Structure 1
Amino acid sequence: MRIELRTDPSLQETVVTVECPALDDSTARLLASLRAFDHKLTGLRDGQTWLLEPADVFYIETVDKLAFLYGETTVWESPLRLYELEDRLSGGSFLRAGKSCLVNLDRVRALRPEMGGRLELTMQNGERLFVSRQYTPAFKQRLGL
């Protein structure tokens, strides 16, 4: 990979152009990292890269070292790892619910304490998720419980 930087004082904003022979995993990761400044998420589905608003994502989960973004009825694969997504979404409405899950608090409809110190979350789309015992105190603190 070759990196070039050109400065032009007449520009109103920074423009980043990526030229590549084909869109591969490393290029997709690079694009996802660049879009962090735009506060958008990227998801792969049906051979296309989708630009997603974080508010449209209900939760993020890792399965077999791959991160998936779950919307109301759609699932996208993320080119980023869970810790990268957590860093990007920190300070917003996403909170760690388990070792392999981030939850969008704005999309939680109800919660219920479970045996063993866990919390059961019901999302706005009806899906149920669990907050592990390790993350329950931070979750309750964030919600003011």
Structure 2
Amino acid sequence: MKVNIDIDHNYEETFITIHAKEWTEELQNLVNSLNQKTNKRIVGIEEEKSILLSPDDVEFIYAQNRKVYAVIHRQSIELNMKLYELEDMLAAHHFTRFSKSVIGNLDQIKHFELAFNGNLCVFFQSGEKEYVSRKYVSEIKQKLIIGGK
């Protein structure tokens, strides 16, 4: 993919034109990324206080016992959103589905190991680890290695 940028003070607003031979999933993802508004913060609850969390600091988010938690530096912080809502909201911050109950931040991954049963074990910068279900392994490997979205 080639990218051309033309900066000129005569332009009233920013506009984007895409030239392509055919419509692809890559183009759809690009359009989705351009149209998506990125949230700067998510709200967590800690000891009856609302705290602002930067999505870039969150390693992964998991659901347990009908509650949702964000993990930052080995600390779990409760969130007041559903996992699927967070997955949509944080896609622009390189979060992706790991399993039915976990979404993870691809930018926080230090390394990963393929288990004998086909699952992927992901190790985060803090030393925390989380498993990726077989259903999501190929998608995550593609995103990690190739950089696809």
TM-score normalised to the size of structure 1? 0.71
Q: Which residue of 2 aligns with 1:44?
A: 45
In the alignment, the residues of structure 1 paired with residue 45 and residue 77 of structure 2 have an alpha-carbon distance, to the nearest angstrom, of: 5
Q: CA deviation at 1:136?
A: 0.5
Partner of 2:96: 95
Consecutive aligned runs of 4 or more in structure 1 exceeding 6 Å deviation: none
What residue is the counterpart of 1:131 in the other structure?
Answer: 132
**What is the RMSD of the two structures over their aligned residues, measured on CA atoms?**
1.5
- Please give the per-residue CA displacement for 1:55-93, whole angstroms capped at 9, x wherever unaligned: 111110000111001100322100000001001111321
Shift of 1:37: 6.5
Gaps (5+ residues) in structure 1? 1-35
For 1:78-129, what per-residue CA distance to the aligned partner results, in whole angstroms no more than 9, with x for missing partners?
Answer: 0000001001111321111000001111111110111121111111111111
The number of residues matched between the two structures is 110
Query: Paired residue for 2:60?
Result: 59
CA distance in structure 2 between the partners assigned to 1:108 and 1:100 by the alignment: 18
- Counterpart of 2:82 in structure 1: which amino acid? R
Equivalent residues in 2 for 1:14-33, closer than 5 Å? none
Between the aligned partners of 1:38 and 1:92, the Cα distance in structure 2 is 9
State the alpha-carbon separation in 2 of the partners of residues 143 and 73 from structure 1. 22
Distance 1:65 1:39 in 2: 25
Q: What one-letter code is carried by the residue in structure 1 that aligns with 2:66? A: K
User: 2:94 corresponds to which letter in structure 1?
Assistant: S
TM-score (norm 2): 0.69
> Given residue 50 of structure 1, which amino acid in structure 2 is its aligned partner?
I
Provide the rounded CA distance (Å) in 1 between the counterparts of 2:38 and 2:108: 23
Distance in 2 between the 1:133 and 1:37 partners? 29
Aligned to 2:92, what secondary structure does the other structure show? coil
Distance 1:70 1:144 in 2: 24
